[in-house]
Chain A
Amino acid sequence: MPPKPATTKENLIGDDDEVLQAVILADSFNKRFKPLTTQKPRCLLPICNAPLLDWTLESLALAGVQEIFVICRSHPEQVKAAIKQSKWSKPGSGIKIVPIMTAKETFSPGDALRDVYTRGLVTSDFVLVMGDLVSNIRIDEVVRAHKERRKTNKDAIMTMVVKESSPYHRTRSKGDSAVFVLDSETSECLHYEPVMGHPRTNVAHIPREILAEHPNVEIRNDLIDCSIDVCSVEVPSLFQDNFDYLDIRRDFVHGILTSDLLMKSIHCYVAKDGYAARVQDTRSYDAVSKDILSRWTFPLVPDDHHPSDQAYELRRGNKYLAKDHTVSLARTCKIGNNSLIGASSQISDGVQVLSSVVGRNCTIGPRTVVSDAYIFDGTTIGADCVITRSIIGAGVSVKDNSVVERGCLIGDGVVIGPDAKIIPFSRISKAPDEDEESDDDEESDSDLEELEEDEENNVAGKLGVGSNAILWPKAAPQEDEDEEGVDNFENLRFMRIGDDASDIDISDAGTVSSDGSDESSDEDSDADTDAESAATTAASMPSGTPIPTTPFDAEFRNEVNQSLERAFAEGHSVDNAAVELKTLRMASNVSLSRVREGVVAAIVDRIKLVNTGPAAQRAEIAAVVNRWGELINKIGGVDAVETITVLQTHCAQSERLPLFGQVLAALYQDDIVEEDDIRAWHRLPASQGEGVNGSVEEVTNLKKCWAVGARMIQQFDEQASDEEDEGSSEEESD
């Protein structure tokens, strides 16, 4: 007998007088699935032949949710119609689903939640999920735990469901994940640090106070954020109060956790059993499809409980065929493991369908190879085609002898071929493209592609003679001024189907510096400082390693500089300058270390380079440090070791390298750094440039700085001869 889930608990939920409500944010608020999402909303994209929304609704139904609000923005009529036609609108479903059409101006989850607040939709604790969730986690248990907690602690406003996985799990997004710092006992979330693939987040910066206040802390970088949040009623109102909250995680969670005023707490529910994942990008689309096919989502599997109530027959090797015998398989076709073929589809002779999903009413011509691809309903693929790791929309016609290489997204109704050759990561749609039809240079991909992309007529040639399609330009970072943060071009590559992004890991420094000329030179070096291993376990990250900056921070850095310049120029007091910086930090929502970097850099840059001799230079330094050094420790936290590291990193990258020793000495003189701090810094491996994959020059510079520090420590040792033994032994151990 199968293991029995807690059926009795189902009743417990029912006994509650309150109706369990859920809010689905059915819009993606991003463009990762374009052009597939030009004609229909993302939540209606099929995954394993059922619309995403159905999977989400089914996940909620499993949890006993009774009332669901679906917040839709793009193509709301379609969502509304889909819900109306689905089984959910039948009387027996036991679930009330209310589609809410929100304004076109709703650009972020935050806006949507503000809308939820203004409409007064939720009346009690509710489940907030994204419209791309596939889960079999028993959310009702989370709700129960949440309610239990609320009885004793009114400030526990939210419980985030996270799924235990591993750092390199296929379902865990490399481009958009997070480090969670949890209290081991209460599972309170103490700190949230988003992790990106590019620029690579190597460091989780955990505020010191957390470690001071909580004796047992788990720092976890192995969690899949399922975006299932059990929220209290006040959550929408908090969004309303803080109108600048956009993202639920980056802004809201971070804001709540860093706020000294709100005094609210957020908890995590680490799901050990069950499955939950989001289809937030094409890469996770691939991963979640495979998870469904390999039955991780049981009982939400095609042959058992397909959310759209299609019946599939399971065959050995996780092959699913529509059960109504309408699938026509040619005798010599080969269906590989983990594949699904929808009703009335025809697979011709010699075809290989490997780890792929084929929709309903599809035709695949002779000898075509479809591997790791997703083909939506009603698509026809001709003979001798090769389709690899791509998503092909509905009603597409790919004519004979075409090749669709990995990572392509082909929109609905497109006709390509015959003999089309689609290069990797192309986006093709039928509708006339609004974006300018420019053949931009392929900065991140191979040279070969650049050559191919050069000529306009080449494009037509590649799509085939009979094509009605348009090749989308590849998004380049400098064109997308609004795509910052997670949605920067390089980072998006981590979310693309078929992109292993290996070239980013290997040869990034060159590419970024060559075309990212408008970015500050700091960026380059940071891109260099990626160590693959650093992302694996946050727990092992020393808090004093060089702090990388991201393009997202570039703007902030700029503002810090401006603010400090003003302060320098107008002679503000240190306190006033500190207040200004704090405000800035709150507004931009960056970590303290970024501010420190900014301040240290600004101070160092403030120092005039004097050619008249070391003494004059020293005086210049002393003047600046005396006047502003204090600011470093007033920005919100004291971390002298980091200060030194930041100083070192900055000096190593700038022409002020020779000043390192003197600045350090000046800081020491002003008690901004202590002797112990210098020793601690000196002991860090990263201070010697170890584990820093920067340019040779930079590493040498770092080493030089380290040597300066070493000399300084020597001096300390000489001064305090009684500590000599201890000090030198520490040095030797390095």
Chain B
Amino acid sequence: MSTESMSMSSQRLVDNLAYKLKRRQVVGSRAAALETLLVLRQVVSKARFSNIDQLVDIIRGAGRKLVEAQPKEYAVGNTIRKVLHHIREEYQTATGGVPSTSRTSFSISKFLVQGQPRKQAVAVQSEDRPLLKENDPDDPDSFAKGLKPVLMEAIQDVLDELETVYDNVSKNAKDHIHSDEIILTLGMSRTVEAFLKSAAHHRKYTVIVVESAPSYGGHEMAKSLSAAGISTFLVPDSSIFAVMSRVNKVIIGAHAILANGGMFAVTGSQLAATAARAHSTPVVVCAGQFKFTPMWNLYHEYAALDFGDPSAVLGFEEGDLVDKVDVVNPYYDYVQPELIDVYITNYGDHPPSAIYRLIKETYYDEDNELDSSTTAPESSKS
């Protein structure tokens, strides 16, 4: 197993975070992504490896553990994929190209997947710069030593991106919200909060906040927005449809954005999006890129909605009812791509149909399945 090459201390860090994720002591996409990055940074800095495959295995091993610990916190897996992507890129620039895609192994299946061969032949040019040597028998650590600074930088890049994600998502907020508009939002999303506040610097507009039972994140949101001087209304979930006719835009957050352009978002989002569709009101989703999840079939699984404890819906003290009624308390809704008009991310604005391509660009295909043993034939080497 790859974890053998992970040092004890980093293994402990990974375990620790895994438990925290499991116990839901770390919740929320961004918090989970941040924690994951911090752990990964430690793991990489302490890792011993003499070629790229070993390093990838170490990170995958850590990633697998974290993802298995909390498969519903998609940001964890996304962060790991993103780091892997960066590491591979850095490796390619450091070693000057991908030896594995040399022309001799070009085949029809490759042709199908990668397109015409001359498109990628460009990278093979710069062979003259000093290359990092993999699997150096004299000094097995030399590869790691040479690569580590760039790797740390790459991880730092991801970290920086994560830290500035709210600012970057909301930098064009004023272009999306116009004066005197009525915006409907739902629950508590930090991204949407930042977005709306940023727009409020330039425009005067009204926000209708849906309280989003049973978590009532809307209460917090309404407080925060009105404190920022935005004219705010708080309405119950049941009145979403009633107020929709006056709403100019629906702006909501996401928990995870799936490859088909659909998303998981706080319960009630589907309701709001459907109501918006009935009134032809645009639905805008604000989310950081770390929420892009290269997965498809999640929405088929009932449990993908992540069910919490029923106490928020029905108090435990209602003893007689507890015995007779099954209470469900899903955290998320699945919102189909058809109901969403645009995703505003820190990488620009995209229609749902473009998410697929963005995900392809953001992650390497082979990293999409971290937890599956079939995907990584190279992992069996170490």
Contacts and interface: CB of A to CB of B under 8 A. Distances in A.
A172 to B, nearest CB: 7
B15 A1 contact: no
Given A92-B11, A92-B12, A1 B266 contact: yes
A91 B8 contact: yes
A92 B19 CA distance: 9
Interface string A270-299: 000111000000000000000000111111
B24 A2 contact: yes
B302 interface: yes
A4 B188 CA distance: 11
A471 interface: no
Contacts of B14: 92
A192 to B, nearest CB: 21
Nearest to A315: B302
Contacts of A299: 22-24
Given A62-B23, A299-B24, A91 B302 contact: no
A5 B27 contact: yes
B326 A303 contact: no
Interface in A92-135: 92-94
Interface residues of B, number: 49
A2 B23 contact: no
Contacts of B27: 1-5, 7
B309 A296 contact: yes
A163 B326 contact: no
A641 B159 CA distance: 75
Given A7-B31, A316-B302, A318-B326, A167 B12 contact: no
A1 B217 contact: yes
A61 interface: yes
Contact of B309 (A165, A171, A298, A316): A298
Contacts of A136: 309
A301 B331 CA distance: 15
A10 B307 CA distance: 24
Interface stretch (B119-127, B243-251, B276-284, B317-325): B317-325
Nearest to A303: B303
A314 interface: yes
Contacts of B309: 136, 275, 295-298, 301
A305 interface: yes
A62 B15 CA distance: 15
A27 interface: no
B301 to A, nearest CB: 8
Interface in A550-600: none
Contact of A2 (B8, B16, B327, B331): B331
A166 B329 CA distance: 21
A169 B302 contact: no
A561 B99 CA distance: 99
Given A90-B15, A164-B316, A167-B319, A2 B308 contact: yes
A7 B34 CA distance: 14
Nearest to B303: A314
Contacts of A171: 319
Contacts of B306: 2
A497 to B, nearest CB: 14
B201 to A, nearest CB: 25
A165 B311 contact: no
A412 interface: no
A318 B18 CA distance: 24
A295 B303 CA distance: 13
A314 B302 CA distance: 7
A168 B319 contact: yes
A524 interface: no
Given A303-B303, A338-B326, A2 B316 contact: no
A542 B284 CA distance: 63
29 contacts: A1-B331, A3-B217, A3-B308, A5-B24, A5-B27, A7-B27, A61-B23, A62-B23, A90-B15, A91-B15, A92-B15, A94-B12, A94-B19, A136-B309, A163-B316, A164-B317, A166-B317, A169-B317, A170-B322, A222-B317, A274-B311, A294-B326, A295-B308, A296-B316, A297-B309, A301-B309, A304-B72, A305-B22, A337-B326
Interface of A: 1-5, 7, 10, 61-62, 90-94, 136, 163-172, 222, 273-275, 294-299, 301, 303-305, 311, 313-318, 337-338
A-B residue pairs, 9 tightest by C-beta: A92-B15, A169-B319, A298-B309, A166-B319, A314-B303, A299-B24, A305-B22, A92-B12, A316-B302
Given A5-B25, A164-B316, A274-B311, 15 more contacts: A1-B27, A1-B215, A2-B215, A3-B27, A92-B12, A92-B18, A92-B19, A93-B15, A94-B12, A165-B317, A165-B319, A166-B318, A168-B319, A169-B316, A170-B323
